[in-house]
Amino acid sequence: MKFWQKAFVLTLLLFVLAFDTGIFLLADYSYKSSLQNYRERSFGEHYFIASSFSTDLSAILKREGDQTIAIQSLFTSYDSYYKKQNVTLALLQNRKLLFGSLPQSVVESQKLQSLDGERRSLIQNIEDKKYLLVSGTLPEPLQYTLIYAYDLSEVMQSQAKLTQFLIGVSAVITSLLAFSLFLIFKKLTRPINELQKATARITTGEYGNRVPVYGRDEIAELAKSFNLMAGEVEAKIEELRLSAEQKQQFIDNLAHELRTPLTTIKGYAQYLQQVNLTDDERIESLNFILSDVNRIQAMASKLLDLALTRSGAIEFQEIQVSSLFERVSEAMKMRLNQNALKIATQSQLNTIWGDAFLLESLLCNLVDNAIKASPFGSTIWLSGLDENHGVIEVRDEGKGMSADEALHVTQAFYRVDKARTREAGGTGLGLALCQQIAKRHKASLEILSDLGQGTRIRLCFTTSSQLDDNTITSTNYYEDVTLQNNLEVDS
């Protein structure tokens, strides 16, 4: 049974009970008070008849002759006179019925016997009719009792009519009420219905569903909370979907990246095995095989690095930025010299808080990318900037990339220039690894680049765990820059 049905039935039941009880009590009260009226009237009538009858009777008793006949004719005249007013009389002498059409058993019953001369009244069914009986003894010394019986048929009839009328009214009001209650409950519970439908739709996967919010009652509050929850669920699902998509993309890319060198290795191995080759061809084929074996090896180690950075423990410590830059410059020295590139380092930052090994690996990767993009003889800038919580920037004067490329460049296996980076021994994982390291430091990797304008990659620390006071004073800073510049550019 639905909630609105329950509320409807219960309210209706309660109302019908209360209303009908009220009506019944009202009808009962009116019946009783009208009976009381009749009783009082009957007492009055009885008194009047009894005193008038006793006067006439005393006159008869004083006379000589057959008194019985005279009494009978007197009684008959009274009786027939009052018949017209729905009244029947009976006369008793010494508790024995003398005259009257009322049954003997009724009039002689104990209930109507008055011991102390008081009048008594009784309601009694006689021959399918209801009578109000009043008995009272006639004044002394007469040994007579007069019984007055009033026919209540009319009263009963009007009472029945009233009852019928009340039942009719009750039925009409009840049905009107039922109808309006039905409408009201339907309307009140409509938002609940809609909530229920929306829930069902969300269950089937339509996460974009929301419910309209009416008014400001509890149901509206519930609808609001529901919408909020649905929004959360939708966002979470979308997040999961994206993450699954990224993982799938990664796996697809990995498969592709593995298959390409495998194709070369397998193909040239078969070629060496099956074909009659000259020595030159043989050496060339072996070189192809070796170079792609190296590629797979590099990829394996980068993938391992990625996995380790993602899940391995990292050691936070205070790192001197200048010494970090020195180590990076030292590590990349050979690669730089090969391309006659210079590296210029400068730092407004004194120290940063992070994992020395990982940050060094990150910077080496960035510098390596810069080397690949830089033209012969240009300079790569490595700087620490005192912005927000500290920024480390790697800038080159290379060929840069478009905004779209910059957006995708941190995805694993994305390559701006596919053929060239492969020849340069790139795995396409470098920036993905950098991104991972940055993430572990709660830092973000910003890429600012334009075609032909060089590239700036900024590692922006966001965590407040970076030291507050890590700025080198301005005079020191400039000295430091010149010193570093001289030192590094010379090398």
Interacting residues toward other proteins by CB under 8 A: 252, 255-256, 259-260, 262-268, 270-271, 273-276, 288, 291-292, 418-419, 422
Which tokens go with 8? 């409807």
Distance CA 142, CA 365 (A): 141
CB nearer other proteins, residue 67 or residue 260: 260
- Report the nearest approach of other proteins to the CB of residue 222 (Å): 43
Give the nearer residue to other proteins in terms of CB position, either 129 or 259: 259
Q: How far is the CB of 272 from other proteins (least distance, A)?
A: 10
For other proteins, the closer CB: 415 or 456: 415
Nearer to other proteins, 41 or 418 (CB): 418
By residue count, the chain amounts to 491
Distance in Å, CB of 189 to other proteins, minimum? 48
Closer of 151 and 417 to other proteins (Cβ): 417
Both tokens of residue 110?
């104990």
In terms of CB distance, is 1 or 419 closer to other proteins? 419
Please, are residues 142 and 135 in contact by the beta-carbon 8 Å criterion?
A: no
Nearest approach, Cβ of residue 423 and other proteins (Å): 8
Neighbours of 200 (CB within 10 A): 11
- The CA distance from 358 to 438, in Å, is 9
Read off φ and ψ for residue 137, nearest 5 degrees: -75, 150
Amino acid in position 277: L
Candidates 76, 118, 84, 64; CA nearest to 101 is 76
Sheet holding 455-461, edge to edge: 342-347, 379-385, 391-396, 455-461, 443-449
SS3 string, 128-174, reads: CEEEEEEEEECCCCCCEEEEEEEECHHHHHHHHHHHHHHHHHHHHHH
- Residues 6+ positions from 419 with CB-CB distance below 8 Å: none
Cα separation, 342 vs 329, whole angstroms: 10
Cβ at position 262, least distance to other proteins in Å: 4
Task: Return the number of the residue (227 or 264) whose C-beta is nearest other proteins.
Answer: 264
Scan for tokens 């005279």, then name that residue: 70
Q: Shortest gap between Cβ of 286 and other proteins (angstroms)?
A: 12
Minimum Å distance from CB 353 to other proteins? 42
| Min CB(314)–other proteins separation in Å | 34
Angle in degrees, CA 265, 296, 275, rounded to 5: 5
Q: What is the CA radius of gyration of the chain?
A: 58
- Tell the smallest beta-carbon distance from residue 447 to other proteins (Å): 21
- Retrieve residue 344's tokens: 């210029």
Residue 293 or 314 having the CB closest to other proteins: 293
